[in-house]
A and B are shown apart, each in its own frame.
Chain A
């Protein structure tokens, strides 16, 4: 009975804590200066920490378990029309970026930032994490590879022999590439000309690696977007069964329990979480007070230091609970932060496609009469935004706590006592509590500085802050 009372107490505490904390926290996530926290910062920070801690206490005390999923399904291919539609969208998007890059210039019709950051980095990540492996088909690099291979075959050109992919390299190339893109996003904040060069360079590099090691080997180990989206896809409703694109439905989130976590995966997950937190931290007043508006070199060092700290923490935790537990804990949090932090960016800045179709090459055209369209968030009801973001934060955290605990329990040495099992998970709980509290704090701070931060910075990420406050807000 005592345990039952403790469970009821912890559950109630959890519910009350979240109810107290999240309206303010979620308001903070909108990154909109017109949203205001209704609670003093200290109250919501303490509440956040208590909430996260209690939720962990809940799954640990309750000792929730789950059976790892069986992975013997054959799967089915998505309909041919859908596969070709997605491939066409990916290829057209890539060609559009290239065409604009060749034409030069910049404007609100720029598709390099729209496709790379808004639809790709944010939109596709969310789709791949929730629905399934859309990127597997959209991926323009694979489509280009297939087209080039078909062309060479038709021309009877003999390609060179495919080399064996070094197994020990694992998915580290993709993780290194992820760090590069995070740096591009959060430090360089380059305009269309920079993004054009990156897209061209990355395409050449990817096609060369596909030619060297084989398309499927490289995309599943070295191609950053594929590896990152597949890692997030451990959550998704549809699991990618094979490289041909067969999928199979499953319970949402159950992929976290699948084996196969590597050090590169955990590093990638830690990069994913910490980069979003860095984005938030770098917009706080405290950050500006400490570092001002740092140049590229200082900002690079700050980013590297922060990513290093979080990766170090993740591996420190992994020493006691295993790589799988920290990975399973971080991935849902990454998705939650992604949705909460960037949802309004996706919904508002994503509207620029309406401008782009009227001025596809940034020449000042107005083909369909929509070039003067002004993206707006006026149609977004504040309550709905808050509710969705609340669900993202709460859901991401709860799923992370559950996944981390279940995998830690499954990976624990046989014969370990229940007490020891709980004790081993404390570092995991502490890290997750710390990261969540820090994130909520930074996002709470963003409310204070958002009106000024947006105008001091020309980055796509700055647009994340500024856009919700754009016309109509």
Chain B
């Protein structure tokens, strides 16, 4: 009885395991951001009227969208999505004033996979100088591909944000050593000074 029960449970879990391997969709088809114009992190000269174009890797399903928001979080303009061209295009109705902007996009692939990272950020430079600087001009050059965020899988992708100092300083190493020494020293002292319990095993 027991053996039969155990066997049944093993068989059940084995069958379930086999069934899971047959489940479709283990590999998701994300519609990833392939490139953007302007590129994320770029500075463009004022006045800037776009168009801002995001290009994706897969067909864009219904619900895909992109909004241009300013530094206050207000939506300035929304994108026109061309599902077959795999693009989202934002054309501001008026030239963008100087400031920081973000394009918050959502791509939905045909199988329902939703992506919304990385956010594309760019800056419209103030038109302080009557003649555009070489730097600003250069930054408006045809955009290369977007940031290297198109990981081939669903694994979270490191974004190229400034890295904090997680490598730690000397103090980071010394602190745990001191803590360990204090804790272990206290524990060892307690055990060494404590009286032995009488044992009946000898």
Check A197–B20 contact: CB distance below 8 A: yes
- Which residues of chain A from 172 to 225 have any CB-CB distance to chain B below 8 Å in the complex? 172-173, 176-177, 179-180, 183-184, 188, 190-191, 193-194, 197-198, 201, 205, 222
Among B24, B104, B157, B173, residue most surrounded by chain A Cβ atoms (within 10 Å): B173
* Structural contact, A65 and B199, CB atoms closer than 8 A: yes
User: Given A15-B185, A35-B168, are A416 and B155 also a contact pair (CB < 8 Å)?
Assistant: no
Docked-complex contact B192 and A359, CB < 8 angstroms: no
- Contact mask A164-178 → B, CB, 8 Å, 1/0? 001011001100110
Q: Which of A23, A30, A415 contacts B173 (CB 8 A)?
A: A23
Q: Which residues of A contact B10 (CB under 8 A)?
A: 176
Q: What residues on B are CB-neighbors of A38 within 8 Å?
A: 173
Known: A383-B176, A390-B180. A193 touches B25 (CB 8 A): yes
Partner of A390, one of B9, B104, B179, B197: B179
Given A63-B199, A421-B201, A458-B154, A296-B159 contact (CB < 8 Å): no
Output the residue of B159, B176, B187, B196 with the most chain A CB within 10 A: B176
Asked whether, in the complex, the Cβ of B168 is within 8 Å of the Cβ of A197, the reply is no
CB of B23 within 8 A of CB of A193, answer yes
Interchain CA distance A414-B183 in the complex, whole Å? 35
Q: Does A473 reach chain B (CB closer than 8 Å)?
A: yes
Mark contacts of A66-93 with chain B using CB atoms, 8 A cut-off: 1 yes-contact digit, 0 otherwise: 0000000000000000000000000000
| A-chain residues with CB within 8 Å of residue B9 when the two chains form the complex | 172-173, 176, 222
Tell me whether B97 is interfacial, beta carbon within 8 Å: no
A259 at the interface (CB under 8 A from B): no
Query: How distant is A199 from chain B, measured CB to nearest CB, in Å?
Result: 12
A177 touches B13 (CB 8 A): yes
Quote the shortest CB–CB distance from B199 to chain A (angstroms). 6
Asked whether A194 lies within 8 Å of B23 as measured between CB atoms, the reply is yes
B: number of interface residues (CB 8 Å): 73
Q: If A372-B119, A374-B159, A415-B201 touch, does A23 touch B114 (CB 8 Å cutoff)? A: no
| Alpha-carbon gap, A32 to B117, bound state (A) | 21
Q: Is A377 an interface residue (CB 8 A)?
A: yes
Tell whether B96 is near chain A: CB-to-CB under 8 Å: no
**Residue A292 is within 8 A (CB to CB) of chain B in the complex:** no
Residue B112 is within 8 A (CB to CB) of chain A in the complex:
yes
**Among candidates B16, B172, B188, residue contacting A15 with C-beta atoms closer than 8 Å:** B188
A8 and B177 in contact, given A359-B114, A364-B63, A386-B172 (Cβ under 8 angstroms): no
Give the shortest distance, in Å, between A284 (CB) and chain B (any CB).
Answer: 18
Asked if residues B180 and A18 are in contact (CB atoms below 8 Å), the reply is yes
From 158 to 173 in chain B, residues with beta carbon under 8 angstroms from any chain A beta carbon are: 158-159, 161, 163-168, 171-173
In the bound complex, residues from chain A placing their C-beta under 8 Å from that of B25 are 191, 193-194
Least CB separation from B172: chain A residue = A383
Give the docked Cα–Cα distance between A136 and B168 (Å): 40
Task: Give the complex CA separation of A63 and B115 in angstroms.
Answer: 58
| B residues less than 8 Å from A473 (CB atoms) | 158, 163-164, 166
Report the nearest A residue to B175, measured CB to CB: A383
**Any B CB within 8 A of the CB of A118:** no
**CB-CB < 8 A to A205: which residues of B?**
12
Name the residue in A177, A415, A471 with the highest tally of chain B Cβ atoms < 10 Å from its Cβ: A471
If the complex has contacts A372-B116, A386-B172, A455-B153, are A193 and B24 also in contact, measured as CB distance less than 8 A? Answer: yes
Known: A11-B192, A27-B168. A191 touches B20 (CB 8 A): no
Q: A458-B154, A458-B155, A470-B158 are in contact. Are A194 and B177 (CB under 8 A)?
A: no
User: CB of A294 within 8 A of chain B?
Assistant: no
A455 (CB) vs chain B CBs: closest residue: B151
A180 B201 Cβ-Cβ under 8 A: no
Interface residues on A, range: 35 or more
Partner of A180, one of B13, B154, B176: B13
Task: Give A221-265 interface residues, CB cut-off 8 Å to B.
Answer: 222
Query: Measured between alpha carbons, how far is A180 from B26 in the docked complex, in Å?
Result: 18
CB distance from B4 to the nearest CB of A (A): 10
In angstroms, how far is the closest chain B Cβ from the Cβ of A176? 6
With A382-B166, A458-B27 as given contacts, are A105 and B159 in contact (CB-CB < 8 Å)? no
> By the criterion CB–CB under 8 Å, are B13 and A463 in contact?
no
B114 and A382 contacting across the interface, CB-CB below 8 Å? no
Residue of B172, B173, B200 touching A414 (CB-CB under 8 A):
B200
Interface positions, chain A 1-50, Cβ under 8 Å from B, are: 7-8, 11, 14-15, 18-19, 22-23, 26-27, 30, 32, 34-36, 38
| Chain A residues near B1 (CB-CB < 8 A) | 166
A159 at the interface (CB under 8 A from B): no
* Per-position 1/0 for A420-459, Cβ under 8 A of B: 0100000000000000000000000000000000111111
Question: In the complex, A151→B165 CA distance in Å?
Answer: 56
Chain B residues near A378: list those with CB within 8 A.
164
Bound CA–CA A109/B112 (angstroms): 12
CA distance A169 to B9 in the complex (A): 11
- Given known pairs A15-B181, A105-B114, A382-B168, the reply for A190 and B26 (CB within 8 Å) is yes
Known contacts A421-B201, A463-B155, A34 near B176 by CB under 8 Å: no
CA A159 – CA B191 in complex, angstroms? 57
- Is A454 a contact of B188 with CB atoms below 8 Å? no
B133 at the interface (CB under 8 A from A): no
Which residues from chain A contact B65 at a C-beta distance below 8 Å?
364
Q: For B188, what are the chain A residues with a Cβ–Cβ distance below 8 Å?
A: 11, 14-15, 58
- The residues of B that contact A391 with a CB separation of less than 8 Å are 179, 183
List the 5 closest pairs (A to B, CB-CB), nearest first.
Answer: A105-B112, A107-B114, A383-B172, A458-B153, A471-B159
24 contacts between A and B (CB under 8 A): A15-B180, A23-B173, A23-B176, A65-B199, A172-B9, A176-B10, A188-B17, A188-B21, A191-B26, A193-B24, A222-B9, A296-B21, A362-B112, A364-B64, A382-B166, A390-B179, A394-B180, A394-B184, A457-B155, A458-B155, A466-B156, A466-B157, A466-B158, A470-B157
- Other A-B contacts than A383-B171, A390-B180, A470-B157, 17 sampled, CB-CB below 8 A, are A19-B180, A22-B180, A104-B112, A166-B1, A172-B6, A176-B9, A179-B13, A198-B16, A222-B9, A383-B176, A391-B179, A394-B180, A398-B187, A458-B155, A462-B155, A471-B158, A473-B163
